[in-house]
Structure 1
């Protein structure tokens, strides 16, 4: 396949037009048809649709109002997900990195989908391979294939070697010919999953799904019992069917999945407006649970780029400036250090032509080149290249000021892999000034206030990193460790040291990955930020990977969240959005499942006792709309800063079960007291509806706490709306309410007040009441 490109000039325009394109469907979101299907063809819609048909056949149309839930759920869900889809698709296009190719002898940048079979693709550090191919040229090219093979060590590639999509370049430069594109490429699925709009594992989604699964199994036998009971004990078949449908419909938490999806989708849209791309919806939940944030100093605390500060010769007679100029121009893809040197030295001197060269990598922590008669020159970390002496001591002293210090050394030849710097002659020290992000200080204060522990992890000198951390006010920023002294084979000891210190310098990419695992083993939920290829493995393993938009394509491919505008100050909004979603979904879950449990208890009691169901479907529709449907929509989208905690399912059950059982007991008591008198069935049902509204309204009050002004307004408006419904004649007629019997109405209110007090005590004892 190499023969597809006959020269180093790449394909011609005619060859490009005739070649097979790299057609890979973008999967940043579900398709329009998939969104429609997932919101329309659901189990709940099927059950409600059947019950709706029964009411339309045997009952009155007013009792079929609950059927509008199908339309409302589908429309709201479709609209919200389409909004999220539009946001994600736009951001995904922005996030796509252009690919450098050579065509017609000229280098150009193209979109990934414009690659064709046989293209000559150019590579540099951080570039992600999107298609398979064969290497044509290599200048110290090293490829990280860890995402494919699990092997962390980069692989040196020579001309003729095969490279696979899903890997990425970490050092050097080179080019390869595309031999497999589109769906033929080895890792197309990996490339798609990196930006796919999907629902991975999450406690929240799993909890809601389990609720739905178990409730579905309960609905079938209880519904059958209820239908049999109502038909057997009622002389009016229509009334029997209506009562049975009322019980079954109320058992179904039809809005819970909808509200969960809406909260996730709105979170995606809100973060999208802040130029934050959420590549996986459960990342929203992960944001709320984070308690340790690992920051890669370069590109996160410090802005991109550096400025050359001082060049300090360590002796006389060496061409320091010429060597630095030559080294800065030796790499065809200069990094930030080389660019800072190039700003001082625009061009190399005469006679400084590099032969063999070794590009910089975060694992080596140095780069170098052999300039023939002028010797081999190496530039890198002083504590890697120097082991003692005046130069080493001066470098350590300079590092304490927060400056980035590099050592320039000369040798007869370049060091071999794994060889120490004993044969190197120290020539000069170079200091670089790093640009601290102006928003870093305020953002770090936010995390300290929110109880999120910050760990600064860097490949730089630990003293220099600690100086920056202390200057930014990071708690315990002075507590630093050199990662080279950390244990490699004792995860427990490593986790203990990580918990006890804040700054870690001279960290290798493999160690970053171990740091994440050690913190997770100690029960922490870990977020990792980064922008370089050395961060990829840690980003992939962290509970939440956050990449900078200006970072390498590889980091953005594996991260769940990408800060497209590179603003570190966006992170508080990211965490805040996650907490908002998680806390609010728990609130609305309490509402919906309280309804489900009181419906289950009512249906069982009525089915076993063989009595009439205490209210009709239209009554359920009215009460549920005012105490659950409308309030849940506002509560699901409200701002909140509550810290997320594990145990979502357990807490919801502790609230919903006692609340639901007590609401059902109150409704049955009120209906029984009214039924003992001479009132009509509608008056008896009205008493039950009053009790049901007041008890579930009180549950809403408890869930809405703390009662801010808008929440007081919300719960107050629901009470006023119910009062108006009891007052206006046409509303009473429509909902079949007849509150004329004073004794029944007063007993209903009294039962509701007592039940509300007991509910308050029960949920407080259960420890679920928010304060």
Structure 2
């Protein structure tokens, strides 16, 4: 059997040929990132539906000649500017991290191998392949040494496919075992990799429970805006009895607060800030909802090697077995390590300890694969040598197997060096195995692993250690980290295949060894079948299937290109300890978006209700001969009402700490507070306005006093809603609420601001009534809040946050 078949021209392209193809445009000219351009970001943040609505209303106010009442137009600038700035900052972070994490294929040019960026590949380039390498462009195999390719990313078929010389390989697949090279036949946009790259590292708010919930809320609000808007427009222009200028400004004042202009903005900011913060910790978020998804995780499946332990290993001991000789074992190990073109961590440790190989020429090779758990080389007269898992190659009842198990139980990594009676590439290999030596390697536990596991335990997140290593060795590492159940590891070869039975075992046990790639995938599915939200961490090719199927895939930056390609989150610093920061950032984003959603939607509810009540009262007055009723506020009034009850506090709260695990049911929780609060504010404000209203022929002073009376009532209750949303209290939240109250006292008492904003609280009777209405509203809002908490059986704070949120 021929191990390597080499086609003609295997030296690769010459420099001149590469340059000619570049001039001809036959390059892999796909974008090195999939984030939006600055131009697209600017356009997307300016031309929005909310900006369009506010822009039209702003132009209507300008038509009346009252520029002051057009201050809400600054929201257009703020919406666009903040969104653009934050997204460009996040884009730059993502672009920089994407370049750092980019896999570089190895091409052969002028007979020499060199690493290049994927964009530098040209048509007909000869690209070398090894285990874990991702195929970055389409091509045809030129050399094959037992080359196996997994095309599951393309076809969904998990079984590796043999690729002989002449076979076609598709970009997006990856090498499972063996080595070889292929010639690029499709590059650039013609290759499948272009589509794959377009889906990675996108700065978009794709589907998530949070985004879906907000979209549902906005759709519901749109349905309310149409009848409320039509009613208030009719009342202001035809029923109020006012001239066109005040009628028009009143109409605008009614419509502006109905639009939750800051809700989508704050959501975008919260996500963008989260990406930037994580980027500073060397965490690449390839999909923004991954931040949200990881915050909802209640089970983390962690691979042992590279996650709980460091990738690097050290050769501790070579222990001869039977009649094996130390020198013979060392020579065979040195030869195998030197012959491996792409050594894994174990072989690399052997190579570092035994750098001088004997110079044996191999006649056959059997690359390592996670399915058979061993690799081998045949060296003619020097014999056939195997290196693999002792529990696979040894008789479990033998003394050698018991020794290997004892060593593994102490947390060491143990491999068996053995001789075989047949070539390693024989169909019935390994055949009769003669143990030669146990190769003992030390695997260092990450110093931050224990602290990370303790964090997850405190957050009620279960950890499942899932590894392809020996179960006893995995258990030793888990026990050293004080993981519950680590002292009772499960050998995955004994696990049931039925999903329900597998799920039962996973619910009870925490540590699993000898797990095959397909089993990792099945374990993720079994946990999901029990309603768990599962995150999977890994760095090897054998983790790819499980990473793909998990709710959130987390890859190590030093892992294989294939794992980084399918993961939503990449830990570029290779630190498992970074994961709690990702979880914490997700919880901060979700909890705080829910907080600010309460504020914005409460404003929308009371604005719609107030418009309905004023509109109905105005139309009714015309029908029954009562005094016509106009809208109580000017646009400047609704602007300042939102400044310190929603706008500034919402921005601060959106960036506040929040460490409570996210829960489903976002829409229901938000509306349970927003609807009753909005109804109370709208009703109390309307009552206060009716009491102070002096009719359409009132003097300008009386109109201002009536508006001021209603505004005092509205602001009092709205500030209390802010206090409810801000719970539980810590010192800075007291400062926030106190500052809001102080700001309104300033606006209502300083002569300049009173004149500028048309405020007049000088009528003691009206102001007293406004305060009484506000106090009644506060009591009603508080009662509604506690009743809702009692009915739903939730704690007395409206959003995820609880005591932990105060930290």
Give the TM-score range, shorter chain: over 0.9
2:591 maps to 1:583: yes
Deviation at 1:324, TM superposition (A): 1.7
RMSD: 1.8
Pairs within 5 Å for 1:692-703:
692-703=714-725
CA distance, structure 2, for counterparts of residue 106 and residue 382 of structure 1:
38
Aligned to 1:527: 535
Aligned to 2:63: 57
Out of 8, 11, 19, the residue aligned to residue 9 of structure 1 is 11
Out of 625, 649, 667, the residue aligned to residue 631 of structure 1 is 649
Aligned to 1:455: 464
Aligned to 1:432: 441
Aligned to 2:486: 477
> TM (normalized to structure 1)?
0.97
Equivalent position SS for 2:403? helix
Pairs within 5 Å for 1:116-131:
116-131=122-137
Aligned to 1:545: 553
Aligned to 1:166: 172
Q: Is the CA contact (8 Å cut-off) linking 2:384 and 2:424 kept in structure 1? A: no
CA distance, structure 2, for counterparts of residue 323 and residue 705 of structure 1:
68
Deviation at 1:479, TM superposition (A): 3.1
Q: Is the CA contact (8 Å cut-off) linking 2:717 and 2:774 kept in structure 1? A: yes
Deviation at 1:5, TM superposition (A): 9.1
1:646-699 Cα offsets, whole Å, 9 max, x none, are 111110011111111011111011112222698712111101000110100000
Deviation at 1:765, TM superposition (A): 1.6
Aligned to 1:278: 285
Aligned to 1:444: 453
Point out the more displaced range, 182-191 or 557-566: 182-191
Q: Is the CA contact (8 Å cut-off) linking 1:293 and 1:527 kept in structure 2? A: yes
Pairs within 5 Å for 1:294-309:
294-309=301-316
Out of 88, 106, 114, the residue aligned to residue 82 of structure 1 is 88
1:707-743 Cα offsets, whole Å, 9 max, x none, are 1111111111111000000011111111111111101
Q: Is the CA contact (8 Å cut-off) linking 2:448 and 2:576 kept in structure 1? A: yes
Aligned to 1:492: 500
2:176 maps to 1:150: no
Pairs within 5 Å for 1:287-326:
287-317=294-324, 319-326=328-335
CA distance, structure 2, for counterparts of residue 566 and residue 70 of structure 1:
42
Distance 1:479 1:687, change over 3 A: farther
CA distance, structure 1, for counterparts of residue 214 and residue 37 of structure 2:
24
Q: Is the CA contact (8 Å cut-off) linking 1:10 and 1:102 kept in structure 2? A: yes
Q: Is the CA contact (8 Å cut-off) linking 1:288 and 1:576 kept in structure 2? A: yes
Deviation at 1:221, TM superposition (A): 2.1
Q: Is the CA contact (8 Å cut-off) linking 1:28 and 1:279 kept in structure 2? A: no
Q: Is the CA contact (8 Å cut-off) linking 2:364 and 2:424 kept in structure 1? A: no
Q: Is the CA contact (8 Å cut-off) linking 2:384 and 2:423 kept in structure 1? A: yes
Aligned to 1:665: 683
CA distance, structure 2, for counterparts of residue 173 and residue 420 of structure 1:
19
Equivalent position SS for 1:122? strand
Equivalent position SS for 1:70? helix
Out of 713, 724, 741, the residue aligned to residue 763 of structure 2 is 741
1:95-139 Cα offsets, whole Å, 9 max, x none, are 111221111121111111111111111111111111011111122
Q: Is the CA contact (8 Å cut-off) linking 1:194 and 1:559 kept in structure 2? A: no
Equivalent position SS for 1:298? coil
Equivalent position SS for 2:339? coil
CA distance, structure 2, for counterparts of residue 557 and residue 551 of structure 1:
10
Pairs within 5 Å for 1:387-402:
387=395, 388-402=397-411
* Structure 2, unaligned runs of 5 or more: 1-5, 619-628, 803-807
Q: Is the CA contact (8 Å cut-off) linking 1:298 and 1:458 kept in structure 2? A: yes
CA distance, structure 2, for counterparts of residue 417 and residue 514 of structure 1:
31
Equivalent position SS for 1:580? helix
Q: Is the CA contact (8 Å cut-off) linking 2:35 and 2:202 kept in structure 1? A: yes
CA distance, structure 2, for counterparts of residue 220 and residue 14 of structure 1:
67
Deviation at 1:317, TM superposition (A): 4.8
2:372 maps to 1:358: no
Q: Is the CA contact (8 Å cut-off) linking 1:166 and 1:191 kept in structure 2? A: no
Distance 1:461 1:248, change over 3 A: same
1:611-647 Cα offsets, whole Å, 9 max, x none, are 3222221110001011000001111011221221111
Deviation at 1:372, TM superposition (A): 2.0
> TM (normalized to structure 2)?
0.92
Aligned to 1:617: 635
Out of 18, 38, 44, the residue aligned to residue 32 of structure 1 is 38
Out of 156, 177, 191, the residue aligned to residue 197 of structure 2 is 191
1:492-534 Cα offsets, whole Å, 9 max, x none, are 1111111111100000111111111111111111111111111
CA distance, structure 2, for counterparts of residue 559 and residue 173 of structure 1:
24
Aligned to 2:671: 653
Aligned to 2:622: none
CA distance, structure 2, for counterparts of residue 291 and residue 263 of structure 1:
22
Deviation at 1:749, TM superposition (A): 0.7
2:757 maps to 1:755: no
Aligned to 1:243: 250
Q: Is the CA contact (8 Å cut-off) linking 1:287 and 1:577 kept in structure 2? A: no
Q: Is the CA contact (8 Å cut-off) linking 1:21 and 1:113 kept in structure 2? A: yes
Deviation at 1:198, TM superposition (A): 2.4
CA distance, structure 2, for counterparts of residue 734 and residue 297 of structure 1:
66
Aligned to 1:688: 710
Pairs within 5 Å for 1:179-258:
179-236=185-242, 237-258=244-265
CA distance, structure 1, for counterparts of residue 273 and residue 200 of structure 2:
21
